[in-house]
Amino acid sequence: MQVNGKKTIGSFQKKYNIGSFELLSKTAPIQAISLIILGPFVDYYLNGRSLLNYPFSGGATFFILLSCSLAVFCNMSQYLCIGRFSATSFQVLGHMKTVCVLILGWILFDSALTVKNILGMLLAVMGMVVYSWAMEAEKKVAAPVPRIKSEMLDGEDVPLKARVSGVPAVDLEDGEMKS
């Protein structure tokens, strides 16, 4: 999912006031139907063999079901994150997921890690660190600076109600009118 798609989904959640699971329940059937219809054709185009001719064993079926289950949890976590994080933060999470997939593939399946993969993972992790640093620096800059009374303009320390003439101020703690 691209950044614009994430922004669109996040705006739909806010516009229609729907939660992530409700949005997922509306979009998942459309995605599943399109995958069922287009999947075999795309698989035949990419592999030159029909999926229906694959010799399904018990182990293959188990790992297919395991993969599908993990994909469901991955989609659920993505939809939970979309409404809560910015598009950039979501991209950072996506890159972390890619790094985890490459490392787990190397550990579990003994897949080869090339220099290109390792440099890509290092670059992604460095980007995440720099992004986190920049976000923290931005939060520090955006934090309100406490001001001392001598630096305030005349009347700035007086509440707005007290500045309006003709309206008596109410003591909020006691609920009584001040004279």
Digitized pLDDT (tens) for each residue of the chain, 179 residues in all:
555 555 676 677 777 777 767 777 777 888 889 988 998 899 889 888 887 888 889 988 998 899 888 888 877 777 777 667 777 777 777 788 888 888 888 888 888 888 988 898 888 888 888 888 888 888 787 766 555 655 555 555 555 555 555 555 554 455 555 55
Whether residue 80 is found in the same domain as residue 91: no
- Residue 80 to residue 59: CA distance in whole angstroms: 32
- The whole-number pLDDT of residue 33 equals 92
Domain count, the chain: 2
Whether residue 76 is found in the same domain as residue 92: no
Whether residue 20 is found in the same domain as residue 79: yes
Residue 137 falls inside a structural domain: yes
Cβ neighbours of residue 91 under 8 Å, at least 6 residues apart? 3
pTM of structure: 0.47
Whether residue 30 is found in the same domain as residue 63: yes
Whether residue 91 is found in the same domain as residue 62: no
- The whole-number pLDDT of residue 172 equals 47
Residue 146 falls inside a structural domain: no
Whether residue 13 is found in the same domain as residue 35: yes
- The whole-number pLDDT of residue 80 equals 75
Q: Read off the tokens for 78.
A: 């993505």
Whether residue 126 is found in the same domain as residue 92: yes
| Domain that residue 109 falls in | 87-141
Whether residue 68 is found in the same domain as residue 94: no
- The whole-number pLDDT of residue 38 equals 92
Residue 122, CA distances (Å) to 102, 104, 117, 162 in order:
12, 16, 9, 59
Residue 109 falls inside a structural domain: yes
Residue 2 falls inside a structural domain: no
- The whole-number pLDDT of residue 37 equals 92
